[in-house]
Amino acid sequence: MRKLLISTVIAATAATGAFAQSPSDTAKARRAFFTLVGFEMSTLGGMAQGKIDYDAELASQTAQDLMTLGGYTITDLFAPGTSNDDLMGETRAEAAIWEDMDGFQEKGMAFYEAVVALNEVAGDGLDALRPAVGQLGGTCKACHDDYRASDF
Amino acid sequence: MSDHLENTYVWDPVVRVLHWALVISFATAWGLGKFGPNQMTLHFYAGYTVAGIVVLRVLWGLFGFHTAKFVNFVRGPKQVISYAKTLPLKEPSRSFGHNPVGALFVVGVLVVLAMQIASGLLADPEDYINVGPLAQYVSASTARKALSLHEPLSTLLLLMVVAHIGAIFWYKKRKGENLVKPMVTGYADLPQSKTAGE
């Protein structure tokens, strides 16, 4: 009986272990993740718009970093109970994400595919980079339009 | 008042060209904003065109032709109310230029358009391709505020357009007055008494 009790406690701990982070922590980590995506994106956007001089190596490296971020499993960053309805002022992630996970994942997939396409051309000169960045930025917008509030 | 109507010059070419240019550029900007591609370059150009039109219309409202000048058509609450009372009447208004209620709309639409232009210029949707050109000069929270205003303002502008077109239908059906033709040709049939005092 005691053994059963202990193992139940252990099992319960293991089961809740995945939810040890508070919803606020999750939202904070999520914003940190997208801050990184935005940081890399601002370099590429700057190059595409001529605000930063094109540099094949920097462009390739930045595209590679986005690829790394694109490989990150974001499921835990979008744990249930972390929408802007749950955490007012802490996140702009709308409840629509959890209501329409398929649609949301489709947007994520479009982003990933655009990152893959970008990686193929990032080092091939500004004329090759520009449309790929435009395509990628478009996938940011498409998701923001449907799933992110414009303000906190 | 004599019933004798004369073909009277009401709208100068600047007002007419700006009006119809606004129709085209606003419809383009609105449509592209709502239904256009994710890369919003053309929406931006349409928005800049609207901005240019609004600036020119305000300048023309200060220094332009008679009926275009704000000072000649913006009226106080008394005149607005007394004109509003004539709106349901089944007779033509025969206004020389903007009537006092229409004046409210003109000023209102210019103000809301200016707000919409400002919010667009300052908005940052954080997609790194559709960032308002002035967003870099303001704080992130201001750029977010601008972004969050841009869409509701577009709905308000749509409602204003609907009201504007509704008013034109009202004048046509109820009051038997064609307001579209003068905005095209510049001429309206008005009694002498309406223009003599101007």
Task: Give the integer Cα–Cα distance in Å for A49 and A71.
Answer: 27
Percent of chain B with pLDDT over 90: 93
Q: Is B111 helix (H, G, I), strand (E, B) or coil?
A: helix
Partner-chain contact A141 B37, CB within 8 Å: no
Average pLDDT over chain A, rounded to an integer: 91
pLDDT in tens, A68-78: 999 999 999 99
Residues of B with CB below 8 A from A40's CB? none
DSSP annotation of B11 reads S
Inter-residue contact B96 to B67 (CB < 8 Å): yes
pLDDT value, residue B75? 96
- CA–CA separation, B115 vs B132, rounded Å? 14
Contact: B128, A44; criterion CB under 8 Å: yes
Which comes out higher in pLDDT, residue B195 or A80?
A: A80
Q: Who has greater pLDDT, A14 or B178?
A: B178
Whether the predicted pLDDT of B67 surpasses 60 = yes
pTM, entire model: 0.89
For chain B, the average pLDDT equals 95
In chain B, what are the domains?
Answer: 5-11+68-196 (1.20.950.20)
pLDDT at residue B198 in the model: 45
Q: What is the pLDDT of residues A99-121, one digit of tens each?
A: 999 999 999 999 999 999 999 99
Identity of residue B163: A
CA distance B124 to chain A (A): 9
Structural domains in chain A? 32-147 (1.20.120.10)
Neighbours of B190 (CB within 10 A): 20
* CA–CA min distance A151, chain B (Å): 5
pLDDT, tens only, A28-54: 999 999 999 999 999 999 999 999 999
Arithmetic mean of pLDDT, B171-177: 96
What is the structure's pLDDT at A14? 47
